[in-house]
């Protein structure tokens, strides 16, 4: 992209300082939006903040400032949001299943899409969803994949080479999770889809969001690794 005339005439030090400030301002909005979206319940309030951050970053690029590439920004923050939504939702089911918030959100989710969050809810010794295999997925993924994905995305956004490498690893792990979850839902379809308002169609509507690792993998394998630092 051709730099603007104003930025082209700036001394290098001033250019770098303006770029740093523009990046920080955009990240402030992006982080705020990602935190709210990551809670799931407050996502509607976080989306405008996130889009404001994207707009600020795009404006900085159009002004010729040296800011983070847009594709790196979008992939990094979307991975954080994806991992945060799963972590917050499953953590609520694990340790907050008797709260009013869980009874509204999780039972509502179970009634609409996935009856594993409605069928015999809070009847296991752990509490929360009783869907076959759900608790094993929750504990295993929260303690490993999703925390790793958040850490990898932070390093990726900081343009660190280890962040890019671990993004590749955790995105492929996301593919494994997706295949496992689809097979688990299929094997126990009589429990997971029985009596729901939007059964199989509803599952595919929200499952599309979980295909994001598939979309990131080609970019991560083909991006110029020289833009990331050790």
- Lowest-confidence region among 24-33, 148-157, 190-199: 190-199
Q: 58: burial class by Cβ within 10 Å (0-12, 13-18, 19+)?
A: middle
Query: Any bridge partners for residue 160, and if so which?
Result: 229
Cα→Cα distances 197→8, 86, 120, 142, Å:
58, 22, 18, 28
- pLDDT surpassing 80 at residue 4: no
- pLDDT surpassing 80 at residue 177: yes
Q: Give the model's pLDDT for residue 204.
A: 81
Q: Give the model's pLDDT for residue 2.
A: 46
Query: Any bridge partners for residue 229, and if so which?
Result: 160
Query: Could you tell me the pTM of the whole model?
Result: 0.85
- pLDDT surpassing 80 at residue 57: yes
3-state helix, strand, coil in the chain (%, to 5): 75, 0, 25
Residue 163 · residue 155 · CB < 8 Å: yes
What SS3 state is found at 160? strand
- pLDDT surpassing 80 at residue 9: no
Residue 2 DSSP code: P
For residues 63 and 212, the model is more confident at 63
């Amino acid at each position: 992209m051709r730099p603007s005339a104003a930025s082209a005439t700036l001394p290098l030090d001033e250019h770098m300082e303006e770029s740093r400030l523009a990046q920080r301002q955009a990240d402030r909005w992006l982080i705020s939006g990602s935190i709210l979206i990551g809670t799931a319940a407050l996502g509607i309030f976080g989306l405008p903040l996130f889009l404001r951050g994207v707009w600020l970053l795009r404006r900085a690029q159009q002004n010729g400032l040296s800011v983070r590439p847009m594709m790196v920004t979008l992939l990094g923050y979307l991975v954080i949001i994806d991992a945060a939504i799963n972590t917050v939702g499953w953590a609520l089911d694990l340790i907050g299943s008797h709260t009013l918030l869980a009874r509204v959100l999780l039972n509502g989710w179970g009634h609409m899409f996935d009856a594993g969050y409605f069928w015999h809810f809070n009847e296991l010794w752990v509490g929360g969803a009783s869907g076959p295999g759900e608790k094993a997925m929750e504990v295993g993924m929260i303690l490993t994949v999703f925390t790793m994905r958040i850490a990898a995305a932070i390093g990726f956004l900081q343009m660190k080479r280890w962040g890019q490498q671990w993004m590749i690893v955790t995105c492929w792990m996301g593919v494994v999770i997706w295949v496992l979850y689809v097979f688990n839902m299929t094997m126990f379809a009589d429990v997971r889809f029985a009596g729901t308002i939007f059964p199989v169609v509803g599952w595919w509507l929200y499952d599309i969001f979980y295909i994001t690792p598939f979309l990131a993998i080609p970019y991560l394998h083909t991006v110029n690794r020289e833009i990331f630092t050790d």
